[in-house]
A and B are shown apart, each in its own frame.
Chain A
Amino acid sequence: MNNNRLPMLLGLGVLAWVGIVILLAFSGRLIIHRFGPMPEQPVQFNHSLHVNKLNLECLYCHQYAEQSIHATLPPTQVCRDCHEGADIQRPEAQKLAELLETVDEIPWQRVYKVKDHVYFTHRVHTTVAKLRCQECHGPIEDMTVAIRSAGGSSDRSFLEMGWCITCHKRRDGPRECINCHK
């Protein structure tokens, strides 16, 4: 073996090694990114039970979805209206009862997020475009705790612009920058 080539080979080996490590690290990151866990909720709220079994409308809890930019989470009074006094043995219902006694507001974690520079309003999507909630939020009536099932997947925390645009194209929604970028 030519001694002159040894350092070069060694160098190449190191480079290849570094490359492999970087590749592995990135693919791992992508995997975590794509399938990463949803935020931990204080109570594992069962959407399916409330919607399918108890026949509650979405607007019963998310009452401002047709009036505001936010759909809004229900104030604790909405939970209290049914849960107070009711003796429900389910563990999550017990947890809720405990929470209702100790806190003013339940610290629900946001599942669907848009970036700071994005303007999104529920009001127009529900009233003018007349979208059903499921078109963006997926089959939420069949879920227990809400998980994000739409909105693009390259970034686990925020909804993707491409996903928005696909729908805006399909339905001929406004597609100018200023409509959504604030």
Chain B
Amino acid sequence: MKFSRRSFLKSLGALSFAMAPPVTRGPLQQLYPKLIPAEEIIPGMPYWYASTCRECPAGCGVMHKVRDGNVIKIEGNPNHPISRGGLCPRGQAALQELYNIDRIRQPIFIAENGKQTELTWEAALREIRSRLITGRTSIMTGHVNGAQKKFMETWLRTLPGQNSLVEYEPLNRRADVQVNKIVFNKEVSSTYHLDKARYILSIGADFMETWQSPVQHSHNFAIARQLKDGQACKFVYLGISGSLTSTNADESHIIAPRSEPAILLALAKYILEKRSDNDIRMRDTWAESLAPYSLETASQLSGVALDILKKIASDLSQSDASLVLCGDAVASHERGTESVVAATILNYIAGNFGKTIELFNSPDNDTTWAVSDFDRFVESMEARQISTLMIHQTNPIYNYPGTQKLESALRKVPLKIAFATTMNETVAKADFILPIHHSIETWGLDEPEPGVFSLVQPAIDPIYESRAIEEILLSIRLSTDLPETFEKFINDEWAAVFRKVEPSETFGPNWQTMLEQGGMWSDERTMDSVPSISRNLFDFLSSLKHPVIPAAPMFQVKASHRFYDGRGANKSWLWELPHGTDNSVWDTPVRIHPEIAAAHHLKDGDVVSLSANQRTIEAPVLITNNIHPNVIAMEIGAGHTNYGEMAVKETGNPISLLSRTNDFSSGDLVFMTDEISIKRTEKSRKIARVQGSYDQHRREIIQEIPLAEAVKLEANHAHRPIHEHTEIYPEHKHPIYDWAMVVDLSACNGCGSCVVSCYAENNVPIVGKQQVERGREMAWIRIERFEMGDGRSRFLPMMCQHCEHAPCETVCPVYATMHSSEGLNVQVYNRCVGTRYCSNNCPYKARRFNYWSPKWPEPTDRQLNPDIYHRPKGVMEKCTFCSHRIRKAKEDAKIEGRLVRDGEVMPACAQSCPTGALTFGNLNDPESKVSKLVNDYRAYVVFEELNTKPSVIYLKGIKHG
């Protein structure tokens, strides 16, 4: 029954149309899991397996690094068309789901009285089969696509009864398709090309964090921001509350809730009038429909000054390639669809379709259920119409606003089977819990975007007695339309994809290539020509009314950069990753405007009770100016009741406060509620933040250069020499290598990928909230955010600067920290006696001290990187520039009798950066990328006046006028 990688490859070899792939060998002889034939596995050496990230629906390509049978790191797949090598913090943290102490290890039966019994697989399946009754069966799942979706649909179809595949995904891309249906009367999805835009306006779309495909958008945005032909993309953000994305904007303005459509349509009208040259069909109809809108009204409604809106309007109309992004479900209200329709109209009138937006006819558009449909599904359960419910990768008890109703409905379902990797609130309501493979342990074929066939391949043998969900479904009941094994099914699916994409080639011999590159995709996709506007759109437009701007505070629930829809809350790396804008850890405070704080006499950390829709939660407050005075915002993440040890329970679950109203035209969940009451409680708790001040106190840690000046210097090929100070001591000699890193502050958006990547790569321990409060966090790289004075912020990744004149080296009494001949500042752990003088003398505060010996309970210890020592208590540690990766590259080079090539060494942080802000290399090689960048006119070092001569060189951020 066990479906290993090996048996899959074997059966593949047996397929009639294929030649045997070169991987079927004799029986395995090693203790190592059955990954590559024994002859090809070398113990102690790392292997990489391409796969697809399943942490959110974006579907980024990943590489799993396997060492001695354990996956120790996840990195982005540089060849993948979606992610292009980057990976977000949530993707990195997928490892903490695989190696979670709360992994379900064997089938569990939960009796009526709540008593849990562990079962064997045979017993569990026998019991389930005996309880199967005829009637409707439903699989309630998160978003599934590709082969898995096809499998579930086929399996359900061949069962007797009216069965349904219920996809519940609170953060989805439904709006996109819905809106295109209204505007173009076509079921097409939009693809946004941020890289081609010269002017981006985002209305509540947090595309660097959670919106659609953050890694892809961040990557493309960084390309757009590069200086090209004396230009660089300008970015303006309008939203009801601030976010990581909004702080990255050149201009960000807080607008009143519900004013989005009015602003967008007024802008559309302005452009329509200004651009008499462009060829817009039905100009008169447009003019008529947009007549009620004006920038003046928009300014009154939104509270944004008229001249700001006028400037945006004129910039938009003058830009040859603009792009308007509008956040869907999140950051929207019961008229969210209207906003997205308005944004689409604006894009259409600005002529962006075919330039920065393309429409694709995709066969498999987002099929997640509207919450209104899900409501009906819950009602049908309540009415005892569902006899068997299968729960898979979704947690509506946590993230559906109607928990009690759902709980009661679930009690009416006679048989509930949960397929899960870890326990969560919904899984706990099932009768049977069956452990399924994590995506790192199973096979699959994902299709995250039309035409991108992304491979899911196991990197290790299952660590517990889990099975693939498809296997379990088949052992519960065989289906006439499906092969007898999952193995055969997935074989057939891949073969079919191959026949479709490469009809002339045979599949077998190419399978190996595909395993290496991570799937199949063609770079050219057939784009639909810009469709004509639907007549119904004008009816839709004429039905719109100017909104009523609420006078009382509204409650906004935001998708979390760290926990997404709450699913990341069982991962300690994500809790310890500081929040993008306020640097808080281990909590999700509720953000309020100083006006509300003053009205309720609140200060940071005071716990308030928030009530809405007859439910109440408690949360500490955090006061910020970056929010509309009538908005109270809170991110999803805390308030889990049954989601493992790491989940934060003191703070409540904001989703529980939402009413089940939905967007009137799309049926999507509305992440806002009107009737919020905020009350002060007697409690107060400190919010643990890793940065004390966002003011640079004139120390010029982050430096900027105005765009005009940058253009001039670029044209003159200007250089800026650094390190001009006189020397007293002889300089360090770097005969072969001189390692350095260049950080482009124009590209860094503060997403924190590097931070989590470093945690994973270097066995950096998690310390918890209390220790962070005492300033004892262990992150080797941190993101510093500083406010630039005009509402903007910039981010600076700060790690050990590997100074040539390192202040830490001179004060260590035991020579535990030394300078290497390659320009690295090295820390010799077993020499360190813990005086902490070095940390005291480090102007960059890049050194971390182990106050406790970290613990890695089984199975989390399997994630540890064997190339890195587990530092005990009493030892100082810090960024090493991933010296173990340098060492590995040097060994490879030595064996081949050459020097390390440029780009061969990639520290973990640089590898995972979605925007490519970090570049690492050898300064002794004049052709290396870093050598060219260090002499850039934008180059500077932090605290140059201290003459520490860091090896980390920053490039000034370009300030757009």
Contact = CB atoms under 8 A, between A and B. Distances in A.
Contacts of A68: 42-45
A119 interface: yes
Given A119-B887, A121-B891, A179-B887, A67 B830 contact: no
B746 to A, nearest CB: 32
A68 B894 CA distance: 14
Nearest to B895: A127
B489 interface: no
Interface class of chain B by DSSP: loop
15 contacts: A67-B42, A68-B42, A75-B30, A75-B38, A116-B869, A124-B895, A128-B891, A176-B821, A177-B820, A178-B824, A178-B826, A181-B826, A181-B828, A182-B867, A182-B884
B105 interface: no
Interface residues of A, number: 26
B44 A117 contact: no
Contact of B867 (A72, A119, A177, A179): A119
Nearest to B27: A77
A64 B44 contact: yes
A117 B45 contact: no
Interface in A47-71: 64, 67-70
B136 interface: no
A44 to B, nearest CB: 23
A105 interface: yes
A177 B43 contact: no
B887 A69 contact: no
Contacts of B880: 178
Interface in A90-142: 104-105, 115-117, 119, 121, 123-124, 127-128
Contact of B895 (A75, A117, A123, A179): A123
Interface string B613-635: 00000000000000000000000
Contacts of A116: 869-870
Nearest to A124: B891
B899 to A, nearest CB: 14
A76 interface: yes
Nearest to B868: A182
B101 interface: no
B31 interface: yes
B479 interface: no
B818 interface: yes
Given A75-B38, A124-B895, A178-B820, A70 B43 contact: yes
A104 B30 CA distance: 9
Contacts of B29: 75-77
Nearest to A127: B895
A177 B828 contact: yes
Interface in B865-900: 867-870, 880, 883-884, 887, 891, 894-895
Contact of A177 (B44, B826, B870, B884): B826
Contact of A105 (B31, B45, B868, B884): B31
Given A119-B884, A176-B821, 10 more contacts: A67-B42, A68-B42, A69-B45, A70-B43, A70-B44, A75-B29, A123-B895, A128-B895, A178-B820, A178-B826
A123 B870 contact: no
Interface in A164-179: 176-179
Contacts of A117: 829-830, 869
A67 B45 contact: yes
B94 to A, nearest CB: 26
Contacts of B818: 177
A177 B826 CA distance: 8
Contact of B830 (A69, A115, A179): A115
A177 to B, nearest CB: 5
Contacts of A121: 891
Nearest to A181: B828
A121 B867 CA distance: 11
Contacts of B891: 121, 123-124, 128
Nearest to B821: A176
State the 6 A-B residue pairs at the shortest beta-carbon distance, nearest first.
A75-B29, A68-B44, A69-B44, A117-B869, A77-B29, A70-B44
Contacts of A75: 29-31, 38
A182 B869 contact: yes
Contacts of B867: 119, 182
A68 to B, nearest CB: 4
Interface in B181-212: none
Contacts of B38: 75
Nearest to A76: B29
Contacts of B829: 117, 181
B801 to A, nearest CB: 17
Interface string B854-869: 0000000000000111
Nearest to A117: B869
Most buried by B among A124, A176, A182: A182
Given A119-B887, A124-B895, A178-B820, A64 B43 contact: yes
A69 B43 CA distance: 8
A181 B830 contact: yes
A77 B867 CA distance: 29
Interface centre among A75, A105, A127 (most CB of B within 10 A): A75
Q: Which of B43, B828, B867, B870 has the most CB of A within 10 A?
A: B43
Contacts of A70: 43-44
Contacts of A105: 31
Contacts of B42: 64, 67-68
A60 to B, nearest CB: 14
B747 to A, nearest CB: 29
B189 to A, nearest CB: 47
Nearest to A129: B894
Given A64-B44, A116-B870, A178 B887 contact: yes
A117 B824 CA distance: 18
Contact of A128 (B31, B45, B824, B894): B894
Contacts of B894: 124, 128
Contacts of A178: 820, 824, 826, 880, 883, 887
Contacts of A176: 820-821, 826
B43 A72 contact: yes
A176 to B, nearest CB: 5
Nearest to A161: B830
Contacts of B826: 176-178, 181
Contacts of B44: 64, 68-70, 72
Contacts of B43: 64, 68, 70, 72
Residue in A70, A104, A115, A117 whose Cβ sees the most chain B Cβ within 10 Å: A117
A30 to B, nearest CB: 22
B27 to A, nearest CB: 8
Contacts of A177: 818, 820, 826, 828
B69 to A, nearest CB: 13
Interface in B800-853: 818, 820-821, 824, 826, 828-830
Nearest to B825: A178
Nearest to A176: B820
Interface string B30-74: 110000001000111100000000000000000000000000000
A116 to B, nearest CB: 6
Contacts of A64: 42-44
